[in-house]
Structure 1
């Protein structure tokens, strides 16, 4: 393969790296050995050293083992960013279990689907979310629910009282054993679990580290971690990468701009893996009250395209350079990034990270490699590519062919090997960095007694990246936008609720009756 991007790898960063065949807990233990007394987590002005964090992980692993957690069991974690997240994550992995990442904003039907699809045995959940869990009754496979509280004693605290003397000695096959089930829409259909092995996640951690090697100061970085750890980007770029580098993960459970600015002023973070909505909010706040961003040395942006004018403005205000990148759940997630120093191209997702190949192929067959500047489907190969989709062999075959991951994203490559996303084959919407699958929203709208037909798609939104537009044909009676939005809000996570509802007399359709969403988008673009 011709790899023109090699000549643009930042000077001092490796082009290729060696990836050890070890588990994630083994990688973490290496950091504990190097940085035992260094701060690992800062949360609400409390600090935990690597040694203290490791001790907590050992105790919870021992407790989980006593609860009967064995190799291969699925442990679902439904928490915002808090110390209990990495403790639960690494403790379950120590037992040989698989982590199921659960979005705390899920409504009952969404939670039911993920828990049952994964056949999870244990659920670790924030106490305030218990009503959603309890509403499911005995419909799930969960045998043990462990609550976490920020305000008072909880079941999780009792796990931490364990002596940690029963930590199982589990043999893990890094290439074969699944560490994480990351639910995603993939290229088609309903949400499905991307099986990320220990090797996938160790690889992506080391690959990500290699893209910043020239600027990273081992054991010294303070990482502003607002991106949720249940999201694959936060998990790798916020948590696993920080621990590998011996950094201090400054955890913030929710993005509230005044609180975030306060944390920035108090803790002076040096690294910020953010998403576009965060950069936009910080800049809007900066207009009303200027604050010092010069502490930031390395900033990355992922999960959704970062508007070019926002990138330039933030760079000017902070004095740093935001390196935009690209990834997807099926790739653990990082595959591309603009060089941390050297040639950066605004609007580009950058170049493939070490040990990663990428190319553009024709949309029809996926077999013809296109030339520079031609638009086609982006496909990727590397050690971070998932094992496959959980219990979905046919969809795995469609998505991974001859070792290449077919992303479903339309892209082009320039003469320097920089890639640009220009659209998506798949209909997935990315709203505020979260994936939204139209069928989930449509299914809910269709349950409204007055709805005859519904179609959902994404429209550009300067703040959220995309917002959701619903188009409806009314069956009977009167229905207005507020009614539909209220109906959805009761049944869907907030980021999946349509921001706009349009009513039409009839839908454009194919000869066989399929609604033509592209035609709708063209008709209703405004």
Structure 2
């Protein structure tokens, strides 16, 4: 296993590591738009009170709680309270619909629901899944609901987090991540990114998301930082707040950059922290350059997976446009199967990672695989002598055109450099003779009569077989809140 660097007393990676970090934490939680700041001493006292209430309500060690909370002070406080009881937490988005929670219950023995989503609360009594007793938690609008659901014997988990993931190869799964690996990821962040200590950090994405959970919540605990959270992303309110009380670090996913750019162009007085990190999906170079120029900030990439935790960050270096940065402390990388991808370029292959923050296992995996070894990320790329990672795409996204492999991200970058195209995605389609072909969906100030010029532009920049055979002009690409394109909803998508 990777040896963990860092000798700070707060960098404890034992089985109760998160609870120990919480007890040693001297930071705060700023609830953003509400204007209320909660200091660590007060939150520790409240967490103790809540854990007592949970025990009195019947929760016990080993129970699994579907944790469906938005970004309020309730998320970190109740998360800690439930860990103190010894519960396991299935981390779900605050607006997860009831039907999706029910689907999870078919594989995970969910004993309780902890939620603040008003539509779920209003439907509880009408749903067979939730014959329940309710527990109000002080003046915070939280409901704890007992379920009657029991579907399978579970392993003897105590105080761990279950993180849903799309899986390395697109198959939905649930990662088991205990307190040890949660704090290990925070150690890797804070020991590698020098700006983190005692900082004020704005987290715009939901805390159940692996990026926000690790970079925002967990890393805050071991760095005595203040985390700023909001129940929803409101770019105008965020910018107004930054004018009054500047922060040190902002975290985003790339689609948020467009909203922030819009408001900067309406009022040049808006400012942001000089350090902005993004994760979730690749940010195209044109948007990155425009954002950095308009705000006068540095935009840094963080690369990771739910399974491995954070892998790299390009903080402290300028790097190339497509660099995902150098590997963090306690992370190792190797590139394999290079021969398979020689059509794309030299030294390109499948990225394998070994990390101190590796998950314990997939929830439904009974094979007892050893995740101390190198893990296949499902990404294609290369690395250099400085351990900088250059991502080219996903293994499953590589398109086979007449026996030649094409990396869609290379073609997307060319399309996005065309002045009228604002968004683009390239993917496999099926031709009339049932062979795989390259298809592009584009958005922007583009009309049908422009397609010939766009195609000629691609021919001037790419080898012929890399130019899409078919172009679709769409009003908008179907994307998730984190910016990932929903390719199955695109025209003529062939999996």
> What is the TM-score of this pair, normalised by structure 1?
0.68
Aligned to 1:52: 42
CA distance in 1, matches of 2:484, 2:316: 36
Aligned to 2:163: 182
Gaps of 5+ in 1: 1-13, 158-175, 431-437, 439-456, 464-484, 505-515, 519-526
Confirm or deny that 1:259 pairs with 2:237: yes
1:377 aligns with one of 350, 353, 378: 350
Aligned to 1:361: 336
CA distance in 2, matches of 1:21, 1:177: 16
Aligned to 1:334: 310
2:361 aligns with one of 361, 371, 388: 388
Structure 1 residue 502: deviation in Å?
Answer: 6.4
| SS of corresponding position for 2:76 | helix
Structure 1 residue 134: deviation in Å?
Answer: 2.8
CA distance in 2, matches of 1:341, 1:93: 35
> Structure 1 residues 202, 313: closer, same or farther in 2, change over 3 A?
same
Aligned to 1:351: 326
| SS of corresponding position for 2:47 | helix
Aligned to 1:17: 6
Instruction: Indicate the larger mover: 410-419 or 356-365.
Output: 356-365
| SS of corresponding position for 2:163 | strand
CA distance in 1, matches of 2:482, 2:299: 28
Q: How does 1:230-241 map to 2 (within 5 A)?
A: 230-241=208-219
Q: Deviations over 1:316-348 (max 9, x none)?
A: 3333322211011112x211111x223433211
1:414 aligns with one of 384, 390, 395: 384
Whether the 8 Å contact between 2:200 and 2:247 is mirrored in structure 1 is yes
Structure 1 residue 24: deviation in Å?
Answer: 0.2
Whether the 8 Å contact between 1:104 and 1:129 is mirrored in structure 2 is no
2:373 aligns with one of 403, 412, 415: 403
CA distance in 1, matches of 2:136, 2:287: 40
CA distance in 2, matches of 1:406, 1:293: 40
2:31 aligns with one of 24, 30, 42: 42
Q: Deviations over 1:155-194 (max 9, x none)?
A: 569xxxxxxxxxxxxxxxxxx8562100012124542210
Aligned length: 407
> Structure 1 residues 143, 244: closer, same or farther in 2, change over 3 A?
farther
Whether the 8 Å contact between 2:94 and 2:117 is mirrored in structure 1 is no
CA distance in 2, matches of 1:180, 1:460: 38
Instruction: Indicate the larger mover: 223-232 or 103-112.
Output: 103-112
> What is the TM-score of this pair, normalised by structure 2?
0.72
Q: Deviations over 1:411-452 (max 9, x none)?
A: 11134321111111246999xxxxxxx9xxxxxxxxxxxxxx
Q: How does 1:43-192 map to 2 (within 5 A)?
A: 43=32, 44-130=34-120, 134=124, 137-139=127-129, 154=141, 179-188=160-169, 190-192=171-173
CA distance in 1, matches of 2:126, 2:43: 33
Whether the 8 Å contact between 2:361 and 2:371 is mirrored in structure 1 is no
| SS of corresponding position for 1:386 | coil
1:310 aligns with one of 278, 282, 287: 287
Whether the 8 Å contact between 1:98 and 1:181 is mirrored in structure 2 is yes
Confirm or deny that 1:225 pairs with 2:203: yes
Structure 1 residue 404: deviation in Å?
Answer: 1.2
Aligned to 1:284: 262
Structure 1 residue 132: deviation in Å?
Answer: 7.7
Structure 1 residue 499: deviation in Å?
Answer: 8.9
| SS of corresponding position for 1:72 | coil
Whether the 8 Å contact between 1:325 and 1:350 is mirrored in structure 2 is yes
CA distance in 2, matches of 1:319, 1:495: 24
Structure 1 residue 462: deviation in Å?
Answer: 8.2
Whether the 8 Å contact between 2:253 and 2:482 is mirrored in structure 1 is no
CA distance in 2, matches of 1:131, 1:493: 23
| SS of corresponding position for 1:330 | coil
Aligned to 1:211: 192
> Structure 1 residues 205, 144: closer, same or farther in 2, change over 3 A?
farther
Whether the 8 Å contact between 1:276 and 1:305 is mirrored in structure 2 is yes
Q: How does 1:470-509 map to 2 (within 5 A)?
A: none
CA distance in 1, matches of 2:306, 2:103: 18
CA distance in 1, matches of 2:209, 2:165: 10
Whether the 8 Å contact between 2:201 and 2:249 is mirrored in structure 1 is yes
> Structure 1 residues 401, 252: closer, same or farther in 2, change over 3 A?
closer
Structure 1 residue 81: deviation in Å?
Answer: 0.6
Aligned to 1:197: 178
Q: Deviations over 1:388-428 (max 9, x none)?
A: 1012234x74xx66611111111111343211111112469
Aligned to 2:22: 28
CA distance in 2, matches of 1:265, 1:275: 21
| SS of corresponding position for 2:297 | coil
Aligned to 2:401: none
